[in-house]
Amino acid sequence: MSTPHARHMQHDSSRDSSPLPNPLGGERRVFEWRGQRIAYVVRGHGDPVVFIHSIHAAAWNAEWRHVVPALEEHTCYALDLLGFGASDRPAVHYTAQLYLQLIHDFLVEVVGEPALLVGSSLGGTYAIAIAADYPQLARGVVAIGPGGISRLFKQGGAPFGVIENTFRLPVLGEWLFSALVSRASIRFFLKDIYANGLDAEAEALYWVSANQPNARFAPAAFVGMNLNWDVRDRVAQLACPLLIAWGTKASQTPYREAAEVRRRAPRAQFAPFDAGDLPHDEVPIPFVAALKDFAAKTPAVV
């Protein structure tokens, strides 16, 4: 097997040319996948940890800005999923299956060894699905307010397809999305998901990502419910350890739904935080402490 470093050299054929900043530090690299450029940040040295961001109109790997720099004892990989952040944003039809294949291929071709998967919201859903379907790729999962169990497990039908296609339209769709990701709208959204006060830096980072060319196509699929994925049965079938993290003041995936998730995954560890939907960004110190403790108990497979 090639070493992880050798795999990077094989696949990082294009230099990073994104106008977006890199608040995670480390090095932004590019994984060529199906003719598209998938951006990711790599930082640190040691057992690999792969971060999969949440999905919303302004989503990208910037949500790990306080976590990745605190894990220098691990090799951290923070993806920008296709259609988000510094990755390409083609006008393709985005689906959960597309993202699951992307994450699988990234783990195989770039990481090259079993990794600890850390995912937020639908990112956590995808981490659970990958670990259940490909146990050789995951040594553990940290799912933060995961979807696919208490919500976001049904894919959309025709009415939601109409909404998605409206956002994809050249003029009307662009106008609607521009309103959705205006500074005022981004600020309103962040005030909802950050329970303990708005972070001005986060507002700037999310706004600049959401206002890149062709930014509307992947979020359109989310609105059309095509990115949802059912892991209600898979979460109980995980062979690897699972940590469920949850903000007790979460609004998008309310804390009361943690009870259903815990019922479905009785063997999982559970970590509540005094935060909203992104506890890893809002209260990073206790989150990183919990993550390090969990990682120490899930050593790499030799």
Using alpha carbons, select from 48, 65, 39, 52 the residue that is nearest to residue 127: 52
Residue 112 in any domain: the answer is yes
Residue 281 in any domain: the answer is yes
Count structural domains, the chain: 1
The parent domain of residue 37 ranges over 4-296
| DSSP assignment of 174-212 | HHHHHHHTSHHHHHHHHHHH-TT---HHHHHHHHHHHTS
Question: Cβ distance 126 to 52 under 8 Å?
Answer: yes
Question: For residue range 180-202, what is the model confidence (pLDDT) as tens digits?
Answer: 788 998 998 899 999 998 888 99
Decide which of 164 and 224 is more confident. Answer: 224
- Report the greatest alpha carbon distance in the chain: 54
Residue 122 in any domain: the answer is yes
Per-residue confidence band for 174, with pLDDT thresholds at 50, 70 and 90: confident
| DSSP assignment of 223-269 | HTT-S----TTGGGS-SS-EEEEEETT-TTTTGGGHHHHHHH-TTSE
Return the CATH number at 224: 3.40.50.1820
193-202 burial string, b = 16+ CB within 10 Å, else e?
bbbeeebeeb
Residue 111 in any domain: the answer is yes
Residue 48 in any domain: the answer is yes
Does the pLDDT at position 166 exceed 70?
yes
Per-residue confidence band for 4, with pLDDT thresholds at 50, 70 and 90: very low
Among residues of the chain, what percentage have pLDDT more than 90? 72
Residue 301 in any domain: the answer is no
Residue 51 in any domain: the answer is yes
Q: How is residue 88 annotated by DSSP? A: -
Does the pLDDT at position 8 exceed 50?
no
Q: How is residue 56 annotated by DSSP? A: S
Residue 175 has a pLDDT of: 67
